[in-house]
Structures are given as C-alpha cells and as structure tokens.
Structure 1
Amino acid sequence: MKEQQIAIPADIAVTGCDDILLAGLVSPPLTTLRVAKEDLGELAMRMLLDRIEGRHTQHGIVIEPDLIVRGTT
C-alpha cells in the first residue's frame, strides 16, 4: 500500500485475522480478530471424541472472535 501511495486507514481499511504478536508491532498497527485458540482446540477435540464414540450428531459451532481495533481501521 505504501508503494502505491494508498493511506491506511484514510484510503483503505485493513483487518487481519489471528492477532499474532507482529500485528501490534507493524506501522500502522494492524486491526485484527482474536480467537481463543484453546477453546477452539477443546471444541475440536470434543467433536472428534464424539465421532470416535459413535455419536455422529451434527454440531453447529459459532466462533465469536474479539475485534482488536488498532491503527488500520
């Protein structure tokens, strides 16, 4: 964007996903979504164990990330 002289966030907003450490260190700091990875892993394991134990129930999972607003929006 810098090379194209596009100003962030004045001309375009940018949002990332995963909230890695680098997101807060770049310039401007990246607005991002944060998902509780431990909770996600626990849900995945429960679904796997249900399948192994013969419970093939359809799971509907809604993952609600946290929006971490920084300098790109």
Structure 2
Amino acid sequence: MDEIDTANERAELMTNMAIQVALSRQPKAPSSGVCRACGQAIEAARLQANPAAPTCCDCAAEAEAEHQRRRKLGGRG
C-alpha cells in the first residue's frame, strides 16, 4: 500500500465519521406515545421532557437497572 492509498483510506474514514456525527445531530422523531417495551402509554411529563422517549418511566428504569447490573458483572450474566 502506498502513500496515496493510505491517504485515500484516511479521507474515506474521516468522511464516514463526519457523516455519522451529522446524522447523530439530527433531531429524533417524536415518540408515538406508546412504550415500546410494555405497550402502555408513556407519561405526559416524560414526553414533555423528552418528546422522542421510546419507553415509559418504569421500563426505562428497568432497562437502566439491567444496564448497571451488566456493567457491574463485566458483561457476564
């Protein structure tokens, strides 16, 4: 691989990274108002705070607790 190939690969990588950053900054679509996990209505206060919230408060808390548990176990469990 020569210097031109290396430079082209770097330019492509930087372009892809810039595209990902730009996409991550786009506003998310508003929530449907129905929790994706349990199917119940998402609380109005939660939707006011985060219009794109995909889950209700209870399911979000459960998901966070599971995430913390997995972090403590180091991915085992």
TM-score (norm 1): 0.29
Larger Rg: 2
Instruction: Compare the two structures and name the one with the higher helix fraction.
Output: 2
Higher RCO (C-alpha 8 Å, min separation 6): 1
Instruction: Compare the two structures and name the one with the higher strand fraction.
Output: 1
